[in-house]
Amino acid sequence: MNVFIPTKEEFEEAIYKAVRKVMREEMPALIRKATRKKWLTTNDVMDMLQCSRRQVQYLRDSRQIPFSQNGRTIRYDIEDVEAFLNGGKVNKN
């Protein structure tokens, strides 16, 4: 059985490459998530779903998209809207 023991430079290079790969793949999504709005208006949801105000109201009335209401102001959690969108995904064969 052969055992490979890297030098300090080889170890640092391997760590550097691994961290760089993760940063390149994960950072854009983390930045988008950190800078986006937590709560969306009906107009935001209309833009996101590319549908009419009436369709958003139907989704709300049929409890397909959870919402929060304070008086006349209605807000939607962005994660709930994204979950609704992802729920309709069709996998490729």
**Burial per residue of 62-71, b for 16 or more beta-carbon CB atoms within 10 angstroms, e otherwise:** eeebebeeee
DSSP state of 2: -
Residue 78: Cβ-neighbour burial (10 angstroms; 0-12, 13-18, 19+): middle
Side-chain-side CA neighbours of 77 within 13 Å: the count stands at 9
Q: Side by side, which strands form the sheet with 68-70? A: 39-40, 73-77, 68-70
Q: In whole numbers, what is the pLDDT of the chain averaged over residues? A: 90
Residue 57's pLDDT is 96
Q: pLDDT of 12-30, one tens digit each?
A: 999 999 999 988 988 888 8
Residue 70's pLDDT is 94
